[in-house]
């Protein structure tokens, strides 16, 4: 199957700093990428949908100015958590779509101290 | 707005048992439904994908069924093994091109 990578897999940062997470589709072109967030023992919650070359569409309750999404190419999307706070600590998973199939990255665990 | 619910939240069984995981969704007009496996601290592994026109899909010891009219799907695991221990997530897609909406999952523990 198609492969999606995420970098970094783990990141620890201080409160107030910004963190960028990269999501790449390695062997397919993802016209649409989705970003999810998963808190401990909770399910994946959709944060936003991004189409290549367009602004991302954010789900209700997700601050677009805090979670900046850029989908500059068909193989790369980035999520930047700006001015991160401890409550932003979570597991972030991206997913690239080709056809009607979503392929998921391995996730990035963010810990904000 | 689509909501996906999974019951039970956790399940413990001895090795060799057949078991059923349940998933329900509020909007029956789904495009497709997918079952995933997630190991602790890891990403998702796709198990089975059922299109809205299908009633079931099978892969090895796994069988997933879909009943759109009742808003339910089940994942049947035959002859469970300790290696099946993981969290199983059900996700529904409402329309072509939209994102999968996930349930909270069922955490399965199979003891040897």
Nearest to A82 by CA among A29, A13, A10, A32: A13
Test B42 with A107 for CB contact under 8 angstroms.
Answer: yes
- Which residues from B are below 8 Å from A34, CB to CB? 99-100
Retrieve residue B30's tokens. Answer: 């789904």
Q: How far apart are CA B16 and CA B19, in angstroms?
A: 9
Query: Hey, how many other C-beta atoms are within 10 angstroms of the C-beta on A58?
Result: 19
Peptide bond into A106 cis (omega under 30): no
Q: How far apart are CA A70 and CA A60, in angstroms?
A: 19
Which residues, 6+ apart, have CB-to-CB distance to A45 below 8 Å?
A: A36, A37, A38, A39, A59, B102
Which of A44, A46, A71, A90 best probes binding to B when mutated, by most B CB atoms within 10 angstroms?
A44
pLDDT tens for each residue of B75-97: 999 999 999 999 999 999 998 87
pLDDT tens for each residue of A38-68: 988 888 999 999 988 888 999 999 999 999 9
A70 and A21 in contact (C-beta within 8 Å)?
no
B28: pLDDT confidence band, cut at 50, 70 and 90?
A: confident
Give whole-number Cα distances, A105 to A2, B18, B83, B100, in Å: 10, 30, 22, 14
* Residue B53: Cβ-neighbour burial (10 angstroms; 0-12, 13-18, 19+): exposed
In tens digits, what is the pLDDT along chain A, a chain of 113 residues?
688 999 999 999 999 999 999 999 999 998 899 999 998 888 899 999 998 888 899 999 999 999 999 988 899 999 999 999 999 999 999 999 888 788 999 999 999 99
Which residues, 6+ apart, have CB-to-CB distance to A99 below 8 Å?
A: none
- Which residues from A are below 8 Å from B97, CB to CB? 32, 97, 100
Interchain CB contact of A28 with B (< 8 Å):
no
Model pLDDT, residue A40:
84
CA distance B49 to chain A (A): 9
Q: Which residue on chain B is closest to A48 by alpha carbon?
A: B99
């Amino acid at each position: 199957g198609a492969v999606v990578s995420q970098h970094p897999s783990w990141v620890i940062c201080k409160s107030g700093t910004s963190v960028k997470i990269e999501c790449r589709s390695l062997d397919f072109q993802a016209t649409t990428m989705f970003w999810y967030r998963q808190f401990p023992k909770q399910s994946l919650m959709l944060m936003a949908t991004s189409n290549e070359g367009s602004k991302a569409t954010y789900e209700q309750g997700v601050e677009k100015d805090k979670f900046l999404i850029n989908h500059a190419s068909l193989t790369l999307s980035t999520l930047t958590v700006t001015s991160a706070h401890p409550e932003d600590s979570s597991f972030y998973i991206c997913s690239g779509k080709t056809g009607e199939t979503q392929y998921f990255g391995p996730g990035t665990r963010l810990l904000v101290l | 707005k689509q909501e996906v619910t999974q019951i039970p939240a956790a399940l413990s069984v001895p090795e060799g048992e057949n078991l059923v995981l349940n998933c329900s969704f509020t909007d029956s007009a789904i495009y497709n439904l997918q079952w995933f496996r997630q190991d602790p601290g890891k990403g998702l592994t796709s198990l089975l994908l059922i299109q809205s026109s299908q009633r079931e899909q099978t892969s090895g010891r796994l069988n997933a069924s879909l009943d759109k009219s009742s808003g339910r799907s089940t994942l049947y695991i035959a002859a469970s093994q300790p290696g099946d221990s993981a969290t199983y997530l059900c996700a529904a897609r409402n329309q072509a091109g939209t994102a999968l909406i996930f349930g909270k999952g069922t955490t399965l523990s199979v003891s040897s």
